[in-house]
Amino acid sequence: MSTQTIRVVVPAPVARPRGARRAAALAVWLLRLGRSIWRTLERAGQRRAARELLAQAAWHEPFDPELARRLREASRFDSV
């Protein structure tokens, strides 16, 4: 009669990689910082666009008052 031997090897528990929690916290912090910077740049761009539209409205006022009015309206657009 033949016999078989089965050997069971229990794997060692897998530890969380060192620094994983800090890396996750850093990723969240960088994401928030990036969003803040993006919003700041976006607001600056909107202000610059409004100034440009108002300058164009002033330039077009003598020749095309309707276009100037529309440019002034566009400069007041607020998407936030």
* Average predicted confidence (pLDDT) for the chain: 90
Flag whether the pTM goes above 0.75. no
Evaluate whether residue 9 is within a structural domain. no
Evaluate whether residue 40 is within a structural domain. no
Q: What's the pLDDT score for residue 58?
A: 96
54 and 72 in contact (C-beta within 8 Å)?
yes
Q: Domain containing 67: what range?
A: 46-80
54 and 69 in contact (C-beta within 8 Å)?
no
Across 18-30, average pLDDT: 92
Count of the separate structural domains present in the chain: 1
Closest listed residue to residue 29, CA positions, set 18, 40, 39, 21: 21
* pLDDT higher than 70, residue 76: yes
Evaluate whether residue 29 is within a structural domain. no
Evaluate whether residue 1 is within a structural domain. no
